[in-house]
Structure 1
Amino acid sequence: MVYQRLCGLGYLFLALCLLTISSASASSNPSQRIVALSPHVVELLFSLGVGDRIVATVEHADYPKAANDIPRIGNVHGLSFEAIIALEPDLILAWEGGTPKPQLQRLAELGIPVAYSHSKTISELPEQLAQLGALVGRESQAQQLITQVNEELTKLSAQNRQIAKVRLFYQLWDMPLMTVAKGSWVHSLIEVCHGDNVFAGLAKAYPQVSVEQVLKQQPQLIVIAQQQTPERVAFWEKWQQLPAVANKQLVFLNPDILHRPTLRTLEGVKQLCGAIATAAEQ
């Protein structure tokens, strides 16, 4: 149920490899017909310049614009095996939190190579780019993107290191109220900005919390990774005892650029860091 909610927000992900593909073999035989089973993989493949090799994908793969023209062969509930086999892919790229593992194992048993993305934190994005670059024969392009990611993250971290710590509540979802803790992709973004995640210490990476818990933590900033609506604004505005509400530090950010581990994440981190810097001035 949690995964289904996250699908609407943008894809957060884990990794597990059923198939190991060496960089050498992948480079000499780069994949040409790819089934990409997550929106973030689709984005990364387009960033590497091989979006035209994607023969099928899943629901919610909507960026860049050209991704909307790719045939859909499934969603979080399952895949069309007949459609996948008919497409004769030479690689399936997936992530463990998406398609149920038994379905992917079945495809692997049919002889179709299956590989998984594995980034759990923003610091692992460069490694993911390198692995995808090797699979599709675009190592040099991947290295350019890796350099860009590392430079941007180093710059953002340095810029925000001098800013006073801001107590931040990150609203992942509102019904039920969900947030992020250590071990989550989003928490790693908050760390780049040197924000103080008020629920960092909870046991689960994506825990459910109550309004009472938020009130007790007294956040200076509330970041809502959902579409802004009058109802969502009104929900928090009634809690004027919260510093974030009293100081009008209620910020809505695009979940796709924060939750999908892609090059657009850099823009999401910039916006997140900007919100934290503004709250620090209050």
Structure 2
Amino acid sequence: MKTIWIILLGLLSYSVVAKPQRLVALSPSSVEMLFVIGAGDGIIGTVAYADYPEVAKQIPRIGRHDFLDFEAMLLLNPDAVVLDSTSVSQLLTNRLQALGFKLIDTRVTELEQIPQRLLQLGSQTGHEEQASRVAREFSQTLAALKRQYQHLAVVDVFLQIWPEPLTTSASSWMNEIIQGCGGNNVFANSVNEYPQVSVEQVLARLPEVIIKPVHGDRSQADTKWQAWPEIPAVANHQIVNIDGDLIYRTGPRVLQGMTQICEIIDAARRQLQHD
């Protein structure tokens, strides 16, 4: 009997040790997910632009989405590498696999997948309780936003990703955010996820609000929309900037960005109804 208990205790000890404690996180969204579930202290290396929360700025940088210092990676010798496979080049991912690193993919394409990834990370890092709480809060907040906004009168939205060349988004992710707020992405049916469009194409769709995500110190210089007052968004002064990180990073903060988009769309909706 004593021998059985020794074996069981040994297995339990192994399972605890087997949880990855030293992590390299190669995507800003992966860093945010790890911190929100309480595993951020285990991150020993990350990439450029992984700047949230504030303490994340102190983590050593070993690359970016298209470059990685593999010598630094080998010296760090992490238990696991956490990444979003949509934001890390396939070449780097293949090299990491070839070198034998354990990879944890936080890729999401739908909002509902975020709590799933949080739960998975919690299980894999030993932070199940906090991950479960955060995942539950995310799901509840998302459901509440959709209940409040998605069945209201539809507002046509143009999302200006970049001014030159003029670029928008037709990704399923962005469409879901806009639709969940009761909006209609006027380029939702584009073949490409990030199509380049012309001012004439925007004119033809007559968006009622123009939303421009801003990226830190990277310019979102104004397209001279005031030259086209026939666009309802221009005529009604419904051209609004938001923090791009809140909607482009597929982590739990995306609901802050979605809340802002819902409020922007609702303001345009109320103005249209008043007019």
TM-score by length of 1: 0.86
Q: Secondary structure at the match of 1:225?
A: strand
CA contact (8 A) 2:162 2:220 kept: no
**Which residue identity lines up with residue 188 of structure 2 in the other structure?**
A
Query: How many residues in Structure 1 have an aligned counterpart in Structure 2?
Result: 257
The aligned residue for residue 128 of structure 2 is: 139
Match 1:207 to one of 195, 207, 213: 195
Q: Secondary structure at the match of 2:87?
A: coil
- Alpha-carbon RMSD: 2.1
**Deviation, structure 1 residue 126:** 1.2
Alignment of 1:189-228 (within 5 A): 189-226=177-214
Q: Deviations over 1:90-113 (max 9, x none)?
A: 101122233322332222222221
**Which residue identity lines up with residue 113 of structure 1 in the other structure?**
K
Q: Deviations over 1:200-255 (max 9, x none)?
A: 11111221111110000000000011269998446212211110000000010100
Structure 1 residues 163 and 27: alpha-carbon distance in aligned structure 2, compared to 1, 3 A threshold: farther
Alignment of 1:45-194 (within 5 A): 45-181=34-170, 183-194=171-182
**Which residue identity lines up with residue 148 of structure 2 in the other structure?**
Q
Q: Deviations over 1:145-194 (max 9, x none)?
A: 1111111111111111342110100111111111111x432222112112
Structure 1 residues 40 and 27: alpha-carbon distance in aligned structure 2, compared to 1, 3 A threshold: farther
CA contact (8 A) 1:95 1:117 kept: yes
**Which residue identity lines up with residue 185 of structure 1 in the other structure?**
W
CA contact (8 A) 1:258 1:268 kept: yes
Match 2:225 to one of 236, 252, 277: 236
Q: Secondary structure at the match of 1:275?
A: helix
The aligned residue for residue 234 of structure 2 is: 245
**Deviation, structure 1 residue 50:** 1.2
CA distance in 1, matches of 2:15, 2:251: 21
**Which residue identity lines up with residue 99 of structure 2 in the other structure?**
L
TM-score by length of 2: 0.88
Structure 1 residues 26 and 180: alpha-carbon distance in aligned structure 2, compared to 1, 3 A threshold: farther
CA distance in 1, matches of 2:219, 2:81: 41
Alignment of 1:1-16 (within 5 A): none
CA distance in 2, matches of 1:272, 1:27: 42
CA distance in 2, matches of 1:155, 1:26: 38
**Deviation, structure 1 residue 28:** 7.1
Higher relative contact order (CA 8 A, sep 6+): 1
Q: Which moved more, 1:134-143 or 1:165-174?
A: 134-143
CA contact (8 A) 2:157 2:208 kept: yes
CA distance in 2, matches of 1:231, 1:259: 15
CA contact (8 A) 1:26 1:134 kept: no
**Which residue identity lines up with residue 138 of structure 1 in the other structure?**
H
